[in-house]
Amino acid sequence: MESQSTFKQIKKLYKGLSYFDSYGSDIILSLLIGIIFFGLISWYHVLNNLEPIKNDWANQRCRPNIMPFAAMINPPNDGRSNSQFTADNFTGCTQNIIKDIVGHITKPVEYTLSIITKFFTMLLKVLDKIRSMLTKIRGQLKAFGKKIMARIMNITIGIQEFFIHMREMINKIQGIFIAGFYVVLGSYYTLKSTIGALFEIIVIILFILLGVIIPLWMLPFTWGFAAAMTAIFVAIAIPLTIVAVAMNSAMGTTLSGIPSTSSCFEENTIVLMNNGRKKKMKDIVSGDILVNNNIVTSKMIMSSKYETLYNLDNTYVTGSHKVYYKNSIIYVKNHPDAIATYHGRFRLACLNVSNKHIKINNTIFCDYDEMNDDETTDLYNYVRTNIICNRNISSNNFIHRFYHGGFSQRAKIQLSNFTFKNIENIQKDDMLEGENRVLGCVEILNQDLHHGMLRIVNKDSSYYVSENMNIKHLGKICKIRTRFNDTCVINNIPKSMKIYHLITTHGFFKVGDITFKDYNALVETYLS
């Protein structure tokens, strides 16, 4: 009973085993014996056929029973070891076998590629034929075009010669008309100058008569002679006035009279700056800060013609400039300490500043505007009432902010010789059209200006101008924005862009077809 149970356990133990589990050791032993016998058989085969195999090595080297003994059959003589030589022989045989196999596999692909190559070769030959045909057609068209152009040139040369002769004739006619125009213009200016000179001579005679008449009226026994001289004076003055007015309307002729005054300083005047340094007035630029935080809002280079300098507190200044004296404002020439002096050839400069006065040495001078307290108050009230709707103005710089303006540097102005200059290049004493002399060139600080600018386009140029500029339009003085009310106001003009203006003898000047009032009118318009 016990043996039967043991048999069942053994049967149960071996019931789930596979064939390899049961006979695996026998299989491995059999493979080892087979490999050993295969090796021994190959070994003895090689030994028996060593010389024939060595002689036919190229064909025998890749046989399976030969490859393991490659170094023994054909020992290496290139320094390689037996194992390295055997491995290299095995690798070479393997590559050759794979190459043959892959060669058979890729033959269909190679055949397909050869067909495609032949197709594209034929296509290139066709394209070459087409290109040759197009080249031939192009050559024929070129030859045809040359023939056509040759015939056209034969026709146009004659027409061109006709127009050349025509142009020469027109130029000659134009030259005749231009010469005639300048002859007439020269005669006009000669007549204008002659009449102006004659008027001035007569005015001088009238002043001489007036100088004689006044003393005659002072003595009773010469009243009769004074009456006769007065009658002569009136007889000359009244017709002269009528003719002068008529000539001014017709020809723009005016008497030179007393030139407009240039109230300013000699350009080498030393001015104390806010940082404690000193500068000559000619070297000061708009935006500089004088002592007491006095900002330079504009700088003028002025004409010195007809001017006399006075020495007041070691400062050379024109007599028509104004200075503070004993709680009042008087002309420099009326100051008790002012001394008229000959200064030779000199240049003038002036400033407008935020505080409206300039302290030089121990004397306080007005700036260029030369305004008193009443005028400043009038300007202040106008701004509050008409511009900022009764709001308070905290800055003492309100005149610059609300009243100043000018032109961009590209504004072109015609001179009396019919040439043009940009306003930035205009010089003092330049003569503008209409015998309008430039008294001063102004550079204005382009900061904190309330008014924007308009872009005005002329035929060949354009420029920017402040919208508060005064112009003559339809016989009246008005703001430029009333003429260009459909032009957008530009408020983002770069602060680096300089603004310029002019001061002239006539009080106005033209830019293109627009007549502008000069710099003085920016403030004087509101004070008149």
* Topology annotation, domain 405-527: Endonuclease - Pi-scei; Chain A, domain 1 (2.170.16)
Q: What pLDDT, on a 0 to 100 scale, did the predictor assign at position 209? A: 78
How far is CA 515 from each of CA 163, 197, 334, 511, rounded to the nearest angstrom?
42, 27, 37, 6
Topology agreement, domain 265-369 and domain 405-527: yes
Residue of 60, 63, 64 lying closest to 74 (CA atoms): 60
CATH assignment, 265-369: 2.170.16.10
Q: What pLDDT, on a 0 to 100 scale, did the predictor assign at position 256? A: 47
Q: What pLDDT, on a 0 to 100 scale, did the predictor assign at position 258? A: 43
| Residue 388 DSSP one-character state | S
Q: What pLDDT, on a 0 to 100 scale, did the predictor assign at position 238? A: 80
Q: What pLDDT, on a 0 to 100 scale, did the predictor assign at position 279? A: 95
Question: Would you kindly state where each structural domain of the chain is located, as residue ranges?
Answer: 265-369, 371-403, 405-527
First to last CA, the chain: 151
187-221 confidence digits (pLDDT tens): 776 776 677 677 777 777 777 877 777 887 777 77
| Residue 384 DSSP one-character state | H
Q: What pLDDT, on a 0 to 100 scale, did the predictor assign at position 13? A: 64
2-32 confidence digits (pLDDT tens): 566 776 676 666 666 666 666 667 778 778 8
Helix (H/G/I), strand (E/B), else coil: 526: helix
Q: What pLDDT, on a 0 to 100 scale, did the predictor assign at position 251? A: 55
Annotate 222-291 with three-state secondary structure. Answer: HHHHHHHHHHHHHHHHHHHHHHHHHHHHHHCCCCCCCCCCCCCEECCCEEEECCCCEEEHHHCCCCCEEC
266-305 exposure pattern, b = at least 16 Cβ within 10 A, e = fewer: bbebebbeeeeeeeebeebebebebbeebbbbbbbbbbbe
Cα atoms in the 13 Å half-sphere on the side-chain side of 461: 15
Token match 């070459």: residue?
128
Q: With a cut of 50, which residues of the chain have pLDDT below it?
A: 255-260
AA letter at 262: S
